[in-house]
Chains A and B, each alone.
Chain A
Amino acid sequence: MGRRTRRRRWFVPYALLAPGVLWLLVFYAYPAAQVLVASFWTGSVERGFSFSLENWSNYPDAIGPVLPHFGRSIVYAFAATVLTFLIAYPLAYTMAVRAGRFKNLLLFLVVAPFFTSFLLRTISWKIILGDHSVVLGPLKDLGIVAEDFRVLATAMAVVAGITYNFLPFMTLPIYVSLEKIDLRLIEAARDLYAGPWRPGGAIAGALVGAGLFGLLAAIFGWSILPPAVGGALAFGFIGWRFVSQSFIRVTLPLSLPGVFAGTLLTFIPAIGDYVNAEFLGSADTRMIGNVIQNRFLVQNDYPAASALSFILMAGVLVVVAVYSRALGTTSLSTGRTI
């Protein structure tokens, strides 16, 4: 009896892993291996392709002309990740802590737009944000923005589109980790004199706001000072008015696992995204995803496309590894950071 149980136990973990492993083998490992092989090809569609390790030069050849696209992808994905975090955190906090009986309704509202297709949602932005749309039309009529001002076909539109499309991937993990927090911990913190955080909140908020909006302005090619000052004032006020010591010492650290998961779920797909850049951006804002798409499907240059795909994968892996190292997933899951 005992032996039989043991034998079954030996088998169970593998059986449980099998579907996932099989899935990864068929839909990840095998295609990835094919792409790796293709990245060492030389030739053309009509002449056929041949493999040789000597074709490692495909890598430098492919990446040389498109370094700016890599840089742009990282910058856009970073900006979108920060923006989703700033929007998602208060949203998730409200849902988890303050929403009461509206919690499920709010959760539904966060997810509801995502019942429609990614593509349709993105294209609908073109109608909302067009040069003479319901948003910009009146602003132009009133003389608030210049006649030739536009949102579409700019870096701002691409970053905003990515932010919008990935918002639930940031909101839901943060919500889950906030929802798990034992509210008695916050009560305990208050009992231990964790009160309003002043002037720390105001100063921290002002610094974050100035840095963030200054950075976004730089990415979008605006003048830096007005957004930085505006950001400092707005975030300074938020920090002064809403951020307490119990939030900084209890709630925020305990929610970091959700933040970690949310940032990865946003950043990784965002860096390879090409739909937003294709539909909302312009020739000046194309990302590395657009380059790979063009190499694969338009130029039929499979070796270059494969090499670029691998460089992107490796780059993302390095970024994620550094990030995990910095935040430390193990300590995060036990809430023992800061």
Chain B
Amino acid sequence: MDQPLAPHTLFHDMGISRRRFLAGGTLAGISAFLAACQATTTPTLSPTASATPSAGASPTPVPRATPSAELNWANWCCYMDVDPNDPTRWKTLEDFQAAYGTKVNYQEAVDANDTFFGTIKDPLNAGLDTGWDIIVLTDWMAARLIRLGWVEEFDLANMPNFVANVRDPYKGLEWDPEMKRHAPWQSGITGIGYDPSVTGPISSLRAFLTVDPRWKGRTEYLTEMRDAVGLTMLALGLDPTKPTRDGCDQAVAAMLKARADGIVRDVKGNAYTEDLKLGDAVLVMAWSGDIVQLKLEKPSLEFVIADEGAMFWTDNCLIPKGAAHKGTAELMIDWVYVPEHAAQIEAGISYVTPVEGVQEIFQQTAPELATDPLRFPPADQAGRLKQFGILSEDDAAYFDEQFAKVIGVG
């Protein structure tokens, strides 16, 4: 494959953004997985002269690993900045290739945490290489993989920028307290996406549970359990950072009642963006980045962090056990933790960066981005962003089973 880059624009034009695109995505994931399994040998290359990333005021530390000829990276859709001169290429990856000579085989192979987990669990369980060097998974799934012992420990000597620039709120999580096995990629917010021209202003999550002719039958919930249950718990005044079975039962009962009342049109994954665009849905549980992109096509749409709060999640880079190009993966992760590089990525996508210093760069180069509340949630809002608590395996199974009733498959 001459071009290491995935056809980003196709999905973009179809309005299918970051999260799952169920059936097609699964197939793409499997084929990407198979393709990646045919990884070739790895001749050693020396870093070129341009290997030293150009930094602003302070000199950027240079990591020490020797890069391999290729790197296999599985990420979610629409999660990388596109080359402005060639929309089929990713700018950041081209820069990395120019610096280290490594061809990055970047695939948008992750369409859902569970489905992607299904594609890698057998090789990991058997102690084999999955074919991927970097995979990007949401906190709870990252925690599960780490718990299973299926994630490589970083050699932090290769990652000086990561060590220096990861923002404080991301540190000290209970499932990886020393941050040796995961590096946050992007964070995002799940809140209210709606069309105020139809619904009027909405600021409370109670709207999802309230019969109102303006959005009755035109409301959609997310199929992502932690988002839907989390937001409903917030609406009910419960705390999703400490989820309990009782809280889950209450949330599920409230959502089932809303369905019975005819409020809910459907429970969907990424496909809600289509319905919002067509006007079939006017009030949805939405991912912030999606609405930012949808607004370009339908300016009347709005995203709001409700009075009760919103869900906050992080997708993380992990190096799966037995990865063939671990050192290069560390170089790649370190590369995106250089603030200038992170700023380039962040200008292209609309999520919350875990890298310190990006906002300062935007203040110089793109002030409108520096004040974007969805990229840099203001301090007064940050307190209202809740991260769904990590569930034990049994509790997760219970929550999934209960939530299946809401999706209509329980």
**Chain A residues within CB distance 8 Å of chain B:** 44-47, 65-66, 69, 119, 123, 126-127, 130-133, 148, 150, 152-153, 275, 278-279, 281-286, 290-291, 293-294, 296-301
Contact call B407/A152, Cβ cutoff below 8 A? no
**Interface pair A283/B278, CB less than 8 Å apart:** no
Taking CB atoms and an 8 Å cut-off, the chain B residues in 315-373 that contact chain A are none
Q: How far is the CB of A75 from chain B (nearest CB, A)?
A: 16
* Distance between Cα atoms of A113 and B116 in the complex (Å): 31
| List of 4 A-B pairs having minimum Cβ-Cβ separation, nearest first | A283-B408, A286-B408, A282-B266, A294-B409
CB–CB B22/A278 < 8 A = yes
How far apart sit A307 and B327, CA to CA, in the bound complex (Å)? 43
Give complex CA distance A292, B4 in Å: 35
In whole Å, how far is B55's beta carbon from the nearest beta carbon of chain A?
42
Most buried by A among B24, B115, B266: B266
Query: Given the complex, which residues of B lie within 8 Å of A281, measured CB to CB?
Result: 266
Closest to A127 in B: B278
- Are A275 and B266 in contact, with the CB atoms below 8 A? no
Contact partner of A47 (CB less than 8 A), chosen from B216, B275, B278, B393, is B393
Asked if A283 and B393 make an inter-chain contact with CB atoms under 8 angstroms apart, the answer reads no
Q: Does B400 contact A (CB under 8 A)?
A: yes
List the A side residues contacting B275 at CB < 8 Å.
126
A-binding residues in B (CB < 8 A): 22-24, 26, 112, 114-115, 117-118, 121, 144, 147-148, 216-218, 259, 264-267, 271, 274-275, 278-280, 393-394, 397, 400-401, 404, 406-410
A300 contacts which of B117, B267, B409, B410 (Cβ < 8 Å)? B117
What chain B residues lie within 8 Å of A47 (beta carbons)?
393
18 residue pairs from A and B, CB less than 8 Å apart: A45-B117, A119-B24, A123-B274, A130-B278, A131-B280, A148-B216, A278-B22, A282-B264, A283-B264, A283-B267, A291-B404, A291-B409, A297-B112, A298-B115, A299-B397, A299-B401, A299-B404, A301-B397
* In the complex, chain B residues whose CB is within 8 Å of the CB of A153: 265-266, 280
Measured between beta carbons, the chain B residues less than 8 angstroms from A69 are 409
Are B393 and A290 in contact, CB atoms less than 8 angstroms apart? Answer: no
User: How far is it, in angstroms, between the C-alpha of A291 and the C-alpha of B408 when the chains are bound?
Assistant: 8
- List, in ascending order, chain B residues with CB within 8 A of A65's CB: 410
A297 surroundings in chain B (CB, below 8 A): 26, 112, 114-115, 118
Name the distance in Å between A288's Cβ and chain B's nearest Cβ: 9
Cα-based distance from A182 to B23 in the complex (angstroms): 45
A46 touches B393 (CB 8 A): yes
Known: A130-B278, A131-B280, A278-B22. A298 touches B114 (CB 8 A): yes
Q: Are A290 and B397 touching (Cβ within 8 A)?
A: no
User: Least Cβ distance of A169 to chain B in Å?
Assistant: 20
B408 close to A290 (CB less than 8 A): yes
Chain A residues with CB below 8 A from B408, complex form: 282-286, 290
Cα distance A175–B100 when bound, in Å? Answer: 62
Which residues of chain B have C-beta atoms less than 8 A from A148's C-beta?
216-217
With A279-B271, A290-B408, A299-B397 given, can you name 9 additional A-B contacts, CB distance below 8 Å?
A45-B121, A45-B393, A46-B393, A126-B275, A130-B280, A153-B265, A283-B264, A299-B401, A300-B118
A86 CA to B271 CA, complexed, in Å: 32
The one of A126, A133, A152, A284 in contact with B259, judged by C-beta atoms closer than 8 angstroms, is: A284
Select B279's contact among A130, A296, A300, beta carbons within 8 Å: A130
Cα(A142)–Cα(B259), bound, Å? 30
Cross-chain contact A132 with B278 (CB below 8 angstroms):
yes
**A283 and B400: CB pair below 8 A?**
no
A283-B397 in contact (CB<8A): no
Q: From residue A37, how far is it (CB to closest CB) to chain B in Å?
A: 15
Kindly identify which residue among A45, A275, A298 contacts B23, using a CB–CB cutoff of 8 Å.
A275
User: Are B400 and A299 neighbours in the complex by a CB distance under 8 Å?
Assistant: yes
Residues of chain B with a CB closer than 8 A to A46's CB: 144, 147-148, 393
Q: Which of B23, B118, B148 has the most CB of A within 10 A?
A: B23
Bound-state CA distance A301–B400 (Å) is 10
Contact in complex: A131, B279 (CB < 8 Å): yes
In chain A, what residue has the closest Cβ to B269?
A: A278
CB distance from A274 to the nearest CB of B (A): 9
Q: Are A286 and B393 interface neighbours, CB within 8 A?
A: no
Q: Give bound CA distance, A60 to B407, whole Å.
A: 22
- B147 closest partner in A (C-beta): A46
Residues of A within 8 A of B121 (CB): 45
A298 with B278: CB separation less than 8 A = no
Indicate which residue in B24, B148, B264, B280 contacts A152 across the interface (CB closer than 8 Å). Answer: B280
Residues of chain A lying within 8 A (CB to CB) of residue B407: 283, 286, 294
Complex: chain A residue closest to B117, CB-CB: A300
Complex CA gap A275/B271 in Å reads 13
- Verify B266–A300 contact, CB threshold 8 A: no
Closest to B213 in A: A148
A150 CA to B278 CA, complexed, in Å: 13
Residues on B with beta carbons closer than 8 Å to the beta carbon of A293: 409
Closest Cβ neighbor of B115 among chain A residues: A297
B331 to A: closest C-beta gap in Å: 31
When chains A and B are docked, how far (Å) is the Cα of A290 from the Cα of B404? 10
Neighbouring B residues of A296 by C-beta, 8 Å: 118
B264: chain A residues within 8 A (beta carbon): 282-283
Instruction: Give the complex CA separation of A299 and B114 in angstroms.
Output: 8
Q: Which residue of B lies closest to A282 (CB)?
A: B266
Q: Point out the residues of chain A lying under 8 angstroms from B280, CB to CB.
A: 130-132, 150, 152-153
Inside 8 A of A66's CB, which chain B residues have their CB?
409-410
Kindly list chain B residues whose C-beta atoms are within 8 Å of the C-beta of A283. 259, 264, 266-267, 406-408
Chain A contacts of B24 at CB under 8 A?
119
CA distance A281 to B410 in the complex (A): 16
With both chains docked as a complex, state the minimum distance between the C-beta of A168 and any C-beta of chain B, in angstroms. Answer: 20
Tell me the bound Cα distance from A282 to B404 in angstroms: 13
Q: Which residues of A contact B393 (CB under 8 A)?
A: 44-47
In the bound complex, what is the Cα–Cα distance between A152 and B218 (angstroms)? 11
With A286-B409, A294-B404 known to touch, is A126 a contact of B274 (CB < 8 Å)?
yes
Q: Which residues of B contact A130 (CB under 8 A)?
A: 278-280
Contacts of B23 in A (CB 8 A): 119, 275, 278
